[in-house]
């Protein structure tokens, strides 16, 4: 994604192949300003090489199995104007935004004074130096945790798992709102033991981080090699997360509204009702439950 050209250092990631408006719930981010809209961008490439990636045509740009890049150079000023006109935050998704730090910093520099925040959907595979650069400017992230141990993570993605958990902990410590996504990948993150390991590790960092359990859909290099996750498996995974001490465990579709709605940890009443990619009703007042006054963790306004 970067190269030296004489005395200059060039990057391919000051660009985007995607520029559309969608819901913050689609990242998914359930506890960050529900109902917000994002102007979503995708610079090329990824620091990992997951064999099941549904966005491989964009994320694996430059590798075998990817396709020709069709993006355009990004103009930060124009992007910020478009976001302002549509009342949007800026979201990076589909590819790995940590490869587009320069574009992130440019957009945050222009958008911050105008109240236009930047959000990421990331794999979390970052150095401490990269975390230090983005923590002051990225307001929220959804980070993938795809395995329970380093060996399985390396086999699936080509990268180590420990840096992912270190990134999550460092970003939370610096005040970035974090939510986690875990696809139930056969042999990697779908057994009760693997899920319990992930859940306990997340709870030790911050039990209030929402954990999104995703149905695994085999595609790319894993197409035809496994079956999609069953609703019963997702329901079991949710119970594992709750038993591990996580306060908020979500399933987008397979369990209907029951999997998406937020229940107060204090009294278990439903306090946020959601559609698949939308927030329908927020019953909180100042982030507090109207029934028991418990203050739910998140950025609600």
| Residue set of the binding site for [4Fe-4S] cluster | 46, 50, 53
Read off the tokens for 56: 């491989």
Q: Which residues are annotated as a binding site?
A: 46, 50, 53
> What is the phi/psi pair of residue 92, to 5°?
-105, 130
Q: Is 172 helix (H, G, I), strand (E, B) or coil?
A: helix
Q: Which residues, in sequence order, are CB contacts of 232 under 8 Å at separation 6+? A: none
Write down the residue that tokens 């080509």 correspond to: 158
Q: Quick one: residue 293, left, alpha or beta (phi over 0 = left, psi -120 to 50 = alpha)?
A: left
Is-contact 260 251, C-beta < 8 A?
yes
In sequence order, which residues have a C-beta less than 8 Å from that of residue 162 and are 6 or more positions away?
150
Helices (H), 10-75: 56-59
Beta strands in the chain (DSSP E): 2-5, 8-11, 15-16, 19-23, 37-41, 72-73, 88-92, 118-122, 138-144, 177-183, 211-214, 249-251, 262-263, 270-275, 278-282
Q: Which two tokens stand for residue 77?
A: 């000023």
What token pair was written down for 82? 């478009």
DSSP 286: T
- Strands 88-92, 118-122: pairing kind: parallel
């Amino acid at each position: 994604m970067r190269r030296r050209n004489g005395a200059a250092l060039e990057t391919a990631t000051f660009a985007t192949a995607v520029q559309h408006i969608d819901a913050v719930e689609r990242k998914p981010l359930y506890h960050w300003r529900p109902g917000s809209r994002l102007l979503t961008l995708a610079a090329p490439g990824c620091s990992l090489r997951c064999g099941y990636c549904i966005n491989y045509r964009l994320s694996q740009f430059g590798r075998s199995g990817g396709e020709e890049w069709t993006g355009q150079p990004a103009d930060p000023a124009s992007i910020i104007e478009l976001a302002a006109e549509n009342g949007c935050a800026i979201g990076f998704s589909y590819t790995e935004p940590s490869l587009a730090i320069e574009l992130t910093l440019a957009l945050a520099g222009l958008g911050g004074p105008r109240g236009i925040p930047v959000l990421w959907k990331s794999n979390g595979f970052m150095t401490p130096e990269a975390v230090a650069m983005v923590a002051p400017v990225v307001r929220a992230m959804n980070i993938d945790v795809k395995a329970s141990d380093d060996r399985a993570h390396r086999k699936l993605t080509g990268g180590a798992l420990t840096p992912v958990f270190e990134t999550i902990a460092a970003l939370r410590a610096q005040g970035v709102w974090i939510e986690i996504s875990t696809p139930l990948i056969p042999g990697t993150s779908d057994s009760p033991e693997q899920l319990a390991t992930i859940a306990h590790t997340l709870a030790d960092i911050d039990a209030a981080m929402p954990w999104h359990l995703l149905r695994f859909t085999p595609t790319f290099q894993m197409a035809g090699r496994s079956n999609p996750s069953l609703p019963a498996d997702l329901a079991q995974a949710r119970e594992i997360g709750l038993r591990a001490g996580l306060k908020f465990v979500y399933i987008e579709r397979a369990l209907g509204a029951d999997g998406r709605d937020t229940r107060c940890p204090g009294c278990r009443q439903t306090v946020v009702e959601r559609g698949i990619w939308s927030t329908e009703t927020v019953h909180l007042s100042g982030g507090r439950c109207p029934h028991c006054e418990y203050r739910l963790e998140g950025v609600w306004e």
